Each structure stands twice: as C-alpha cells, then as structure tokens.
A and B are shown apart, each in its own frame.
Chain A
Amino acid sequence: MAYHENLYLLVFLPLILIVYQVFPKKLRPYVLLVFSCLFFLANSKWIIVPILLTVLIWLAGMRIEKIRLDAEQKLPELDKAGKKELKAETEKRTHRIMIIGNLIILGILFYAQYLHFTVDNVNRVFSVFGIDLALKVGKTFFPIGISFYSLEAIGYLIDVYWNKVQADHNPFRLGLFILFFPQVMEGPIASYKDTAAQLWSGEGLKVDNISAGLFRILLGLFKKMMVADRLARVVGCVYNNYTDMYGFMVILGAVSYTIQLYMEFSGSIDIVIGSAEMLGIKLPENFRQPFMAQNAADFWRRWHISLGTWFRTYLFYAVSMSKSVKAINKKLRKSRGKYAAMVGTSAMALLPVWLATGLWHGPSWTYIFYGFYYFCILLAETAIQPYMEKLEDRLQITAKTPWYAALNIVRTWIVIFTGELFFRAKTMRQALVLFKHIFTGSFFPERGVWTILTDQKAILLEKADYLAILGGIIVIVIIDICREKDLKLREKILQGPIALRWSVYYLLIIALLVFGAYGSGFQAVELIYAGF
C-alpha cells in the first residue's frame, strides 16, 4: 500500500483521521502508532527491524543519560584534576555507546541492503586472480524504508550524544518517531527534534489543517498522475532498448527521467507532507524548486533536502571538524595558503559524504558512480569559485544578472541530466552505452522522433498523453516559479474566500479524474524512492 494508491488515499487515510479524532487526546499517539504498524505490515512483514532499532536507540539513549547524571552527581565532590578526569571518562563512555549503537544500526542496514552486493563483488575480485571463492549468502530480508528510518535512528543517537536532545524515556514515542506511517516509506528523513513532540501531542483535527493537507495531496497526485507515470513509458523505452538508441532519444530519455523523478518523488513527498498536515503535524520540506538552482551545490540544497541535511550534519561536519582533518587543514594553510587548504579540506570531507550518498540509494555501481560524479562536480565548483568571482567582477556581472543567472541554471541542468542518466541505469554498462550514443552514431532516428514517441507499440502513449504531460509540466513550473518568488500562492488560496478555494480544489480534482493516468488495469509506476 503506497501513498498514491486508492487503498491509502480513499480507505486508510480517511479511516485513520476518523479513528484519531474519536479517541481521547491521551490515546491519540497510540492510535497513530498502531496505524503506523499496520501500514508497515501492509507493505512488509519485517516490522521487527524498526522495532528493534527503536528498542536499541531507546536503551542507548537512556544509558548515555544515566552515565551523565551519575557523573554530575559525583562532580561536586571532586577536585579540579578529578573533575577533568571524570569528564573525560564520561565522554569516553558515552562516545562508546553511541558508536556501538550506530554500528549495530549500520550492521543491520548493511545486512539488508549491501550483503549480496559485497559478496558478489568479492567473488568477482577473486575470480580476476583465478580464485573461485564462490561465497554465497542466503536470502536476506528487505524491510521497506530501512534506508530512511536507519538514518533517523542514527541521527537521534548522535543528537543525544551531542546533547542536542534529551534522551527519550518513552519507547512508544521513539517508535512513532521511527515508524510514523507517512514518512516510513520514503522520508522526509526527520530529526527527533523536528517531529517527536508534535507526533505525541495528540492535538485534535482542524478543518484548516485538513483542507491544507488535502490541497497538498492533490498537488502531489497531479504531479504523479499527469506527468510522472506517463513519462515513465518514454524513459522505459529508451532504457530497455539501450543498445539500439539515437543520441537525441538518449538525451530525451535522460531529461524525461529527471522530470519523472522530480514529479514522482516530490509528488509523493507532497502526499506525505499533506497526510501529516491533515493530522496537524508539520514535516520538514524535501524540495525547494531544484531546477532553479544556480550550481550543483545549490541543487543539492534544493533536492532531497532532508537527505542532504542529514549527511551534512552527521557526516560532512563530523569529518571536516575531526582532529585529523583540522590538522591537515592547518598544515596546508601554512604551507600552501588558504585556497589550497579550503580545496583540500573540502575534498577530504566531500568524498566520504558523496560515496555514502551514492551508496545510500542502493547496492549498485551506478549509484556509487552517481555519488562520485557529484563529488567531482562539487569539488570542481569549490575550486573554481574564487576564479569565477574574479571573472564576474571583471565583467561586472553578479549572480543576479538575468542572462548570467539563466546561463547558470541551464548549465546546472546539464549537470543534473547527466547525473540522472547514470542514476537510472541498471548497470554501468547500460549507462555507458547510452552515454556513448549521444556522441556516436546517428543523432536523430530516421523514422522521426515524433513517430517513435507516438508509436503505440514502442511507448504505449498517445498524442493526447503528450498534451497532458506538457500541460502538467506547465502548471508545476508556474507553481514553482511562484514559490521561488515567494508569492505565497498556497497561503493566498488557503486563506482566500471559500469560493476561490473550492474552485481550485475542484479544478485540480477534475484535472486528475479526467486527464490523469489511471484506470482499470493501468499499472501505476511503483514509488521509486520506496525501493531505496
């Protein structure tokens, strides 16, 4: 049961809203927890995994707190040297708990996601040397959404260790934080501080919240049903016939996939955030008009924000602020100057972050490549930035000069499309073959692009479907531009007269019901990110 399916939207969600409202305030969080478990079970039987994670971080968090409290009690009785020693000792012990806890979480994640991949590659490496290890592993399990809530669990544990949040004594609240049904499949990855207290408040439903949430959900469905599910066919055609493709079609495929992914991922996140909003819970945003980014770094501050934030907080800063990196930084500053130090530090901190980001998406070399690709791009951007600034000064342009901004946006698009071309491929071979087609062989198909696109046998789309895609994209582009310019369109509609609000709702609904891609026997495309 995924978020775009009738079962969720027409049955599960209304049901939980009613049950939630009927129960007294104190019991409502438990209603959420029970329904979250049911939602998980409807998708995967491995609910034991998130429960285990919850118990683990619950115990570890309390243990860290206990050690600190014990130390605090002893502190006044000690002299200065003793205090220092005790502090160091406390730090060491809490650090150890945090590390062990995280290793267990990562171990489970590794077992579920990466064991097969690792074993396969170990076998392959040895076979190069003529040794046939033939290591085998049995079936592992794959609890849905594990990549998402594992990060949440790790984040909580580090936050407790960093003293950013108080250890939670209530395992059910932690469980709800991990398992909350809208987020459990594909994020957004929240920090404990963001959601736990809200989830546990048990505030009653409000009509305003429901109507705002509904608006968001309709918007998300619009993105998926108007654009994403249709473009998926174009993309599928290019990737399934990758050995026999034309340059133009490859580019079209990469662009289509990028649009599809945005519409589908941001659309399902809209449904997620809208569902939570109906319950009066505010989840962190995951997208901020990514296609208006000025450069790749900017793109990643706008695309899958919650993942970027997580990696920045818990990995990027942790690496770049570590003693060894700092020491190298200092040395470089002295010997080679500030610029070299900045580039060097960035490289050291970026590499693990981007390899991890790539791998996070799943056990595949294409994802590793994808991470490495962005590492190179981001490092290059950092390295040339001072020179670009000088150039901008000389030409008397700034990032706000319209033509220059437009140029930057288009340049960033090319970076994004190339990245997604590799991201979508099943194997590196497929990606490279496709990439090569752009530059070799004939660029345009002899049959004509439009003939192929409307070929019912190849793509299964009709002319009218392309109209729907185009119309859908135009609507979303307008909405995104309004957001970028901070016109607060949504707020204006939501607070406007009821006639305006209802007409917008009805228009959206009519658009979905008439022009949306759905119907008896139509196979909606499974949520892409739910597979990560």
Chain B
Amino acid sequence: MSNNNKKWFSLNLGRKEKTSSGSCSCGKTSGGCGSSSDSHHMTDEAFNEAAIHASIGEERTKDGFEQVFDVKMDRRSAFKKLTASLLIGAGAVSTSCSVISGDESKEKAQIDWEEQFKGNYKLMTDKEKEGTVDRLVRSYQLRTGKNISMSSKNAEEDVLFGYAFNISKCQGYMDCVNACVEENNQDRNSQMQYIRIHEMKDGKGFNFNEADDNYYHEVPAEGHFYMGTQCFHCDNPPCVEVCPVQATWREDDGLVVVDYDWCVGCRYCMAACPYDGRRFNWSKPEVPEAEINHNQHYLGNRMRKKGVMEKCTFCVQRSRAGKNPACVEACPTGARIFGNLLDPDSTIRWVLENKKVFRLKEDLGTEPKFWYFMD
C-alpha cells in the first residue's frame, strides 16, 4: 500500500536502473529524466519472478490500465488524493531517499513518474514514441508477468483508409460487434461496444428513430434490413476541433485516434460527434486476463484507464500492418469493405466509383470516410 502510494511521486535521484530501451526519451517532460544506466546483476527471468512476487501480489488478478496506474485506496486515502498537489513534493523526496524499497518497485515508480508527466503522443518524436511504448510494455510485464507487444507504427505514406458498408448484405448477425470487443480490449463490465447494428423496417427509409440497435431474435428478421454504424473517421472531424488539449486528432492515413494518456476526460468530443462514435470509460475498464489481446498499438487497443475517451480506430494495430479491421474480418456476409482510398486499384475505390454510395448526415460537412451502398 505504501509502495503504491509513493509511486506517484517518486523522482529518480541516484537510483540504479537497468536501461531497457537504451534511451530515456522524456526530454520534454518535467519528470526526473537522465537516469543513470548501470549494470543490473539479475537475469531477466529471475528479475521478473522477483518483481511479480514483490510488487503485485493480490493485484495480479486485476485488469486494465488500472493496475498500471491507479492507486488502490480506501476512502481515507481518497481524501489524500484531494490534496495530492501538496503531497507531491514530500512524497517525491521520501521515496527517492528511501533505501528500503526494492529495485523493481523503484523501476515501477520511475516508469509511472515518467508516464504521468510525458507529453502528447501526437507531438512526440519517433524516439519518444518508442520510449513510452517500451515503458508501457515494461510496466505491464512488471505488474502481471505477462508480455505484450505494443506498436507505435506511424501512418504510412500514400495511405488513406476508407470503409464501405453494404446495406443489402448485412444480415444483422453482430459477429462484428463481438469481434471488435475481443480485438480492442473494451471494458466488459459496461459492455462497451463501438459498433451498433440498427435493425430497420423495410419501407420506412433510414429511420433511425424507429430502428432497434439492441435486438435479440433470429436474424435476419422478416421485413427488416440492417445498417451498421461506428466511428466514421471523418476527414473534417468535429471531435478533433473541440478537444481542448489535442488529445484526439486525425492521423495522416485518415484514422481519428485518441491519446488515452493525454485525454483529460471533458467529453466535449462526445457532445460534438454527430455519429455516436465515441465512448467514455465511466469506471475503470476491466478485461479478464485470459481475454486480453496482447497484440497492441499505442493509439489502438492498449489498456485504457478510467475517465478517458476511446473509440474505433479501424483497428489501427491491424490496419497499419496490412490486416483488415476485426469487424471486416469477422463479417460472414462480406458486407464490410475496407481499403486504401488513394490506391486507384483498391476494392474500396471500385465501390466508390461504381456503386451508388452515400454517407450519413453529409450535410454537416464532416466528410466521413465511411460509405454505405446497396447491391
């Protein structure tokens, strides 16, 4: 407990550290940078074992970003948190001077400190991006003993992602919804889902008001058709405009992403989105350890913490590697088409040029990169 409390405020004052990435890349942040690299006499394996035993204990069963960053606390320590700013100074000094706490908990403390005071991912150099990803991977390893792979792959040149949805084909099976949740490590408790499938009555047009997006009966239902919505990755995204801290932005390949660590949780973007594309972590997100997708991207499906926004990223961890998003892959009817809008030979381009396509709420000028079409 005391270890946990201290980790927020610790500075790196003469602590011996085993450098994992070679560089400490938080040059811009205010945290204690310039850690001395020194030889560490444990082997990696032994170190891991020790770290797990020493540091996590009962926390091992916990999930999500929570176990990485949040401090377990009772009501009394919650009050302490209220005056955290006053404690920072004292806490920092006490931890860094303490000789009792083990080396691994000091490493954790160091990582947490640097993570707390790192900059905005959007403005980071590639080296800094690698640095924070390394820290997050290491932190996860220290706390759970499990390895994850996290990518910080940037947008490729000459790529602009687009998506097309065939209304005639969708049968409403919702396989996409499940695949999305499994791929993107969404909170299981609140049953957060990025995708909504709207069951619409034939002959009523696209009447969302009367559509049901949470049906449970055999599908396709007689006299109905199905229309999926998710984040449309607008080219002129209102959510990005309104963010006060630029925690969300449009990448060069068209993906609208969120830096979960930079988000302050004001939910202005949520109010600004005309497409219900954004989700908020009202409480700490939890995913059973066995169900965690370990193939992660910093901007994609890595573990979130409570009080931050998240959204569909067209599975950035997959799409930037050349795979289709999980929803596209899971769709048994081929109603979902994904590809590079800049490639004249791509299938998505063929759809846009040869089918009668439309988008939702085009009059708002948001320029979604998500088209609907019919056979």
- Chain A partners chain B: no
